[in-house]
Structure 1
Amino acid sequence: MTGELIGGPAVISTAGLTKHYGNVHALTDLTVDVGAGVTGLVGANGAGKSTLIKILLGLLEPTGGHAHVLGHDIEQQSQEIRRLVGYMPEHDCLPPDVSASDFVVHMARMSGLGASAARERAADVLRHVGLDEERYRPMGGYSTGMKQRAKLAQALAHDPRLVFLDEPTNGLDPAARTDMLRLVQRIGSDFGIAVLVTSHLLGELEQVSDHVIVLDGGHLLRSSSTGEFTERTGSLLVEVVGTETERDRLGEALAQRGLTCRPRGAMVAIDPPPPELAEGGAAQDLIRDVAAELGLGLMRLQPDRRHLEDVFLEGGTRV
């Protein structure tokens, strides 16, 4: 039986999945479901992300437990899984003397498409990933960003139902990283393909994921919707014009008015206000008035939100 999620069956379902290499525990008793849309798999290097993907593809045999991908058992039906799933590996694996067009056509043919369909599909996916004008160049001369796009294109070549993207932003500069994240989001939203994307950069996955799974040392730390991770905390963030001196002046004055404050970078972080200031924007009004009394220009006043980093900073409970 595969798992069920709100909105439909799980595209991935694991139960007690475990992988040990001698005394090294890459995964331990992982039980989790992955639904449609974009799911971020986050954790530090060595957390077990790549190991999980390879097990789900049937490339590694688990030590214990079991899993299903698109309703297929990973141990009994791994060939069918690989037919339905696209995979973008983390490391550079592109033949340098082959063009992106020839490579993606080849991968589409390997997945069962006929020659004509493979050429048409290759042209489509290379256009979607932004390699239309560079598709006939040997990939050995590509930049890191172009190589990542070529790897993404081959993962989409056979019109999969699910794609595994292992660290797709690895080695990219900020602009290329942003472009890649937009592509990942489009795959899930516009193409309707389920995505499991890994990253050790926590903030990235907040931007593009519908759901986030956090691994820590091979254990499941937390699995929930991105909105639950980044929900409002009731706290406030305030920034004023000036240096740390002005920031501290504001924080001290607000503390005298009954608010609990602490510096956070250039801002003042304010704990959830007491009941008498929690309703009707009274706390915001107080902050505005105190800043005006001190002659400080108010740059920012906003609700604080949790971030994925908070799960680790809090030493989250393993579930």
Structure 2
Amino acid sequence: MMITTAALTRRFGTSVTAVADLSVDIPPGITGLIGANGAGKSTLIKMLLGLLPPSAGTAKVLGHDIRTEGVAIRERVGYMPEHDCLPPDMSATELVVHMARMSGLPRAAARERTADTLRHVGLYEERYRPIGGYSTGMKQRVKLAQALVHDPQLVFLDEPTNGLDPTGRDEMLGLIRRVGTEFGISVLVSSHLLGELERTCDHVVVIDGGKLLRSSSTAEITAKGAVLVVEVTERGEEVAGALRSQGLEATADGDVLHVGLVDDSTYDAVLAVVTSLDLGLVRLERPRHRMAELFATPAGGGA
């Protein structure tokens, strides 16, 4: 496992518990850390980096104890913080070279790695401009570059799509997927938006109020919601009956149907029935998961 925690807890004073008795195993690959704002995601990441001591419990990152081996963890882990922490007067090249040097790379190697990393995140042409003139999306790419420049085994990305428009979010999620698949670096990426990470991550950990709700593969979560929503122009119950006669689960509420999704053949069956009955198809889609649905689900597969 890349990360293991056992009864990990962090309290602030006597009244606030940010992370509560958290026990979870996180495998290699791309893992989404899901939770509403204030759920304890950033506190957990800072503890895993050895930057914030736990009040109770234990955790290991890449086999290193967070209480006693924080430096060893940070040598092997990249970190993209949530907040805007970039110096506006520096260029992307200056900042990323500086971070590479702090990680122990010689000057020549640091400059070479910086150029390669900025090219990978799409900032090569803008690398000498002051960061203060960058858009939000460009600043997020700089933060990603500095997390990657020392070739870590694992990166922690804290809300990397914050402040981005839909196109910028898609581009950032694509970069994250490349980090995990093409570069072979494991990723722990936090977000309050399940829909974003559902198509990016291999594994999902859901926390609320600092407590584990569930830890499971993304495929397991999506399989639990394997339903098609079908809306026809009329005769919804007749369509549902025709689909049930083919062995599919189908219920109708007026002209809106919910059909159990088996595989791609389910789409073909729906289209064939609608066509044979000479009806119009208004919509055919899979519903998106809502965070509330996961919060209402007991922790299954938790460590």
Identity %: 59
Distance across 1 between alignment mates of 2:157 and 2:207: 16
CA offsets 1:1-57 (integer angstroms, 9 cap, x no match): xxxxxxxxx111101101122212211111111111110001100111101000001
Q: Within 5 Å, which residues of 2 pair with 1:131-280?
A: 131-231=123-223, 235-240=227-232, 246=233, 249-254=234-239, 259-262=250-253, 268-270=256-258, 272=260
Q: 1:298 aligns with which of 263, 273, 281?
A: 281
Letter in 1 for 2:25: D
Q: Within 5 Å, which residues of 2 pair with 1:63-78?
A: 63-78=55-70
Distance across 2 between alignment mates of 1:282 and 1:50: 41
Q: What SS class does the counterpart of residue 169 from structure 1 fall into? A: coil
Q: Is the 8 A contact 2:231 2:282 kept in 1?
A: yes
Aligned to 2:296: 315
Distance across 2 between alignment mates of 1:260 and 1:51: 44
Q: Is the 8 A contact 1:46 1:217 kept in 2?
A: yes
CA offsets 1:220-272 (integer angstroms, 9 cap, x no match): 111111100111656433244xxxxx2xx343444677752237xxx834255
CA offsets 1:65-103 (integer angstroms, 9 cap, x no match): 000000000001001111111000001000000000000
Distance across 1 between alignment mates of 2:159 and 2:295: 25
Q: 1:28 aligns with which of 20, 23, 28?
A: 20
Aligned to 2:49: 57
The TM-score, its normalising length taken from structure 1, stands at: 0.83
Distance across 1 between alignment mates of 2:129 and 2:270: 62
Change (3 A) 1:116 1:24: same
Q: Is the 8 A contact 1:211 1:225 kept in 2?
A: yes
Q: Is the 8 A contact 2:2 2:27 kept in 1?
A: yes
Q: What SS class does the counterpart of residue 214 from structure 1 fall into? A: strand
CA offsets 1:101-154 (integer angstroms, 9 cap, x no match): 000000000010010010000001000000000000000000000000000000
Aligned to 1:14: 5
Aligned Cα RMSD in Å?
2.6
After TM superposition, give the deviation of residue 217 of structure 1 in Å: 1.3
Letter in 1 for 2:211: H
Aligned to 1:113: 105
| Mapped pair 1:99 → 2:84 | no
Question: Which sections of structure 1, spanning at least 5 residues, go unmatched?
Answer: 1-9, 241-245
Q: Is the 8 A contact 1:254 1:287 kept in 2?
A: no
Change (3 A) 1:308 1:31: farther
Question: Which sections of structure 2, spanning at least 5 residues, go unmatched?
Answer: 245-249
Change (3 A) 1:66 1:97: same
The TM-score, its normalising length taken from structure 2, stands at: 0.87
Distance across 2 between alignment mates of 1:270 and 1:56: 42
Change (3 A) 1:283 1:61: closer
